[in-house]
Structure 1
Amino acid sequence: MTAHRVLRWAAAGIAVLVAATGCTGGGRRAEPARSAGSGPAEPVPGAKRGGTLTILQQDDFDHLDPQRQYVTHANAVDQLMVRTLTMLKNDPRTGRQLLVGDLATDAGTDVHHDGRTWRYTLRDGLRYADGSAVTAADVAYGVARSFTPQLADGPHYIQQWLTGAVDYRSHYRGPYHGGGRIPPGVTVSGRTITFHLAAPHPDFGYAASLGTTAPIPAGTDPGLAHADRYDTAPPATGPYRVSKYQRGCG
């Protein structure tokens, strides 16, 4: 019988609001964004900053690295620590899950009205748990990491849509194999990141809610040889960060 594991998450001291459910300009926004309004979700009445959340579960996580996780229970926990460009927000009036901006100001702008070019602008004041600023370049670098063959455990939608190829690694193999920090099809300007897709994908905003778009600061990346560090403590953007985690501890 597998022993139970207890993980502890300490609240991160960051000065931004965070979506509790589960991560502008001209052009057409993703359809759900028009009815959802802005995100993240509203603060829970009576909630206070700080404290410790204890989670009891039977099995350990395969991955907490946001670019490598694609399993429901890991995804649910990652959403406590890691924000993405968009996220799903529960509408208490209808019970529907609505797509909204999380790191981004909205659920995305379809720049040319053809589903191929999606633009996101990051919110002001986004911070990691250590107080450093979250940038659009960090989001681009997180997407770049997801192309790495050794980190291929996560979803592959955005990689395939950017390159137009199922075998997307024939175009780019991530930043650890001589590639740049920004993947093909992605451009960054200030707080704005734009995805230039090979074909129309009007549902891109939903893929942007997955861990593929979680920001990773390239300057503090431990490198491929030590990539497993992000499985025990991914760069936290809130509302929690890992306080203590011993893998395989029963």
Structure 2
Amino acid sequence: YLPDRRDLNRSFPGSARGSLAAQLAAKFLKEVICHCSLGIDIHSAAVHRYNLPQIRIAPNNENLRELAMLFGAHAVIESPLRPGSLRDIARGEGVDMLLMEAGEALRFDELSVRCGVNGVLNVMAHLKMIQPHPEATQVTIPARSRRALWVRAPRGGLCMLQQKSGDAVKKGEVIGRVAGIFGDDAMEFRAPIDGIIIGHAVLPVVNQGDALVHIAEVMRFGDVEERVDQITEALLNDRLLDEDELI
């Protein structure tokens, strides 16, 4: 959000005489997007939410699907373009966009940082913009999804999650509960589909209807949690972010 409390990623194509968000969107479209052939749009989750590192792409785009798989995030999600978003306006200009969602607003998250840096370098190397890192390897196949659902709080109160981002859940499995401040009148909430948790709320105090857990329905469910763990381990052991090399 910008100082005018508007979301830049819902303000495109913008206007030179509009709000601060509209002016910035119009300037960014003219000075940046219109000069690009490919973009990588990097976001954190909203305030008080965490996102498992993931890449979102437009449906039925083979070029973006290939780049998304090479990026090396935990999940690749094909999702429709939202009107007013950077991805939507860029597509209108003939520019493909990878959208990375990772981590939590206002927080440093080493896993998300490593995933983002490595992913950008992987894409640049694939496009022959840079030389591949000598130790770079394809880690494993990320979770792939074409549908994701939010599970919402059944009541207001204190939320206690039993699962978190990166965990695989089966349809009907209890993933948490919301109770009163003394643990009274607890209400469970369950997974509506088989899938992997790609995002969750981090504050314990919730209101009825608040989005609590984001679940992506995956194409290969059986070993998805193991594959996610392998990607996490590889990223945290990766030498691409060695401090000596950066300095």
Scaled by the length of structure 1, the TM-score of the pair is 0.25
Higher RCO (CA 8 Å, separation ≥ 6 residues): 1
Greater percentage in helix: 2
Greater percentage in strand: 2
